[in-house]
Structure 1
């Protein structure tokens, strides 16, 4: 079954579904455990996300090139280790004497309402994490489709399902939020990644500037073997996070080129 055949669910419906799950979790687990789990998940998810953003830079600094076990494995390890450590610390602070088998106290209406309000915390966190993942995945699909188009493939349109979801995220969230949540998929960075992907697929065929109709000088496009290999291997997520893109985006010539392009 194609993803395009799946009925599109509105972001509001998705948020309500997540809230219902979180509310049920709160009621079953109790307020103290909920606080502990939320604190641990929030901080560890943020730490894992930050490590994920910086992993390619660390890989280049340590190994001289992009290594998969660093770019992909290090963020996962950071998330798991930080979640375990933070949860242990938070649990020892918030409930140092409570035992797991201790019976829960009866809940009043006020306590129940407060627990439901507390469930908004993990709901918001999970929605933001999901929105970032969806937006980033849609951007990767754009780079992949542009690369396939440059190689002459007939299937050159980005996955419609991922693009609809990405558009929904961009409509629902302020631009400043998206910039902070997913800074590695800003338009200029995305365009540069497309140019590199196109050049790697067709090294003998120049990339044409749609504004002038003339080939873009190869010297302007970042022509690094590591980036070319990432593009050829389809590792577009790592390509978008590579530190050479950050360095290249500071070049005035590339800035001017990207302003002229509309990819």
Structure 2
């Protein structure tokens, strides 16, 4: 998959038939320095009353961490992800496109989109759809990353001869912490932004290598050796491979019109 692929094409190649890539990425975040995990932090801030819909729910890790909820619906475009989502107790699981949700207008109390808008070719169409299915006064929660999120990993691109590594790590369509609040405000009111404070401190090369492989596929022996050497040199110099994170939660309300 080249850097020129569309957002949806990359998502299909990454997620349609496997949950392994997402699992590898979640694993790297276990090295965060914030004592409160992302899922616990997010769970405290989500609108979880009554009918809750998570779009692009992936492996359902959020609900395994914070516990299932009554009247919870989980959707994803990927058959592999939907199979995993069916392991969430009590959840209704639907396979569908985020821009064409199979719900009547005004029938959902809360919509959650956790780190998924950047997988879409038309994220604004999804935001319009979220607004359509929400009841007046319903709440939206969107998590996105900043343009500088995990930028330290981009430096490994030249090491392994992958000049588009930064493209793969950065989000297309400018679905970022910097640009997305304004996009949300075009469809919702009471928009707020809160940053999750965290940094990864990774003591070994393997989790970082697994993350890179999850993004670009298997490395050759030479590529892996070069990447490992670069990572271990950083660890030797600094005691760990440090990766800065920039993730925000954007919350908003569906207006009365």
State the TM-score, normalized to the length of structure 1. 0.29
Instruction: Point out the structure with max Rg over C-alpha.
Output: 1
Which one has more relative contact order, counting CA pairs under 8 Å at least 6 apart? 2
Larger fraction in helix: 1
